Copies of this chain bind each other. A is one copy, B any other.
Amino acid sequence: MKNESLFSFTYGMYAIGVTDGKHPSASIVNTVSQVSNHPNLLTVSIHRSSYSYACIHKNGLFTVSVLSEDTSGAVIGALGLTSGRSSRKLDNIRYKMLREGVPVIRENSCCWFLCKVIDSMETPSYTVFLAKVLAGSDRVVGTPMTYSYYRNVIKGSAPRNAPTYQEPTPDRSNSDGEAFACTVCGYLYHDAITPFEELPEDWACPICGATKSAFVRQTAEI
């Protein structure tokens, strides 16, 4: 069996809103799944090295904002390419603070849900949280973004007019063309400005939250 077969699972794109008690933060995941409707329960898998995990583990609250096809790659990059430990990820992101102190993302998201953890399962690297939906938006705006859409249409990179876009420098943009693929979700990291090896150790896959160790070197053909 090749691990790539697991890429055939279908996922959406979601922003998980959290708080450490002082500052709101958010990250990108694709592993949100409804479990039942009476009561409304869902699961989400979070890497235990992530800042989102630390926040959820601390206070048991998080939000899910369903990203739409109109949510820009820049927003996804801003929330997914850095750690909430080292940066205020929401500084340039439109969001709404719920009275519970957790943020919901307003960058063309379809809808949002406030969730409270009621159970969890541990795996070697990830925790699967089971959570009850306490509240949510009344309507859905736009078309939910699928992970496939993010990879094939948005190309998983920030657009030129986005705050996270970085102009390639000529001396490095045509270097060895190396790319690194996430073995969990297939996300391809390929940045001529910041080689993969120079990303911070707590950098996580912007799509599924996998750590750097989950990435494998590839020869990019892009």
**Chain A contacts to B: CB under 8 angstroms:** 1-13, 31-43, 45, 66, 110-111, 113, 119-121, 123-126, 128, 130, 133, 135-140, 144-148, 183-185, 208, 210, 214
**CB-contact partner of A1 in B8, B45, B136, under 8 A:** B136
Whether A4 contacts B66 in the complex (CB less than 8 A), given A10-B12, A37-B184, A184-B37, comes out as no
Most buried by B among A35, A38, A140: A35
Chain B residues in 8 Å Cβ range of A66: 8-9
Q: How far is the CA of A9 from the CA of B43 in the complex (A)?
A: 12
In the assembled complex, which residues on chain B have CB atoms less than 8 Å from the CB atom of A33?
A: 9, 11, 31, 33, 43, 45
Report which residue of A110, A121, A133, A185 has the largest number of chain B beta carbons within 10 angstroms of its beta carbon: A121
- Please, how many angstroms separate the alpha-carbon atoms of A208 and B31 in the complex? 17
**CB-defined contacts of A208 to chain B, threshold 8 Å:** 34
Instruction: Determine the chain B residues whose CB is within 8 A of the CB of A125 once the complex forms.
Output: 36, 38
Q: Nearest 9 pairs between A and B by C-beta?
A: A10-B12, A1-B136, A37-B184, A5-B111, A8-B144, A8-B66, A35-B45, A8-B140, A36-B126
A133 B35 Cβ-Cβ under 8 A: no
Taking a contact as CB atoms under 8 Å apart, the answer to whether B8 and A11 are in contact is no
In contact, B2 and A183 (Cβ under 8 angstroms): no
Contacts of A126 in B (CB 8 A): 35-36, 41
Contact partners of A5 in chain B: CB under 8 A: 111, 113, 136-140
Instruction: Select one of B7, B10, B41 contacting A146, CB under 8 A.
Output: B10
Q: Are B130 and A123 in contact (CB under 8 A)?
A: yes
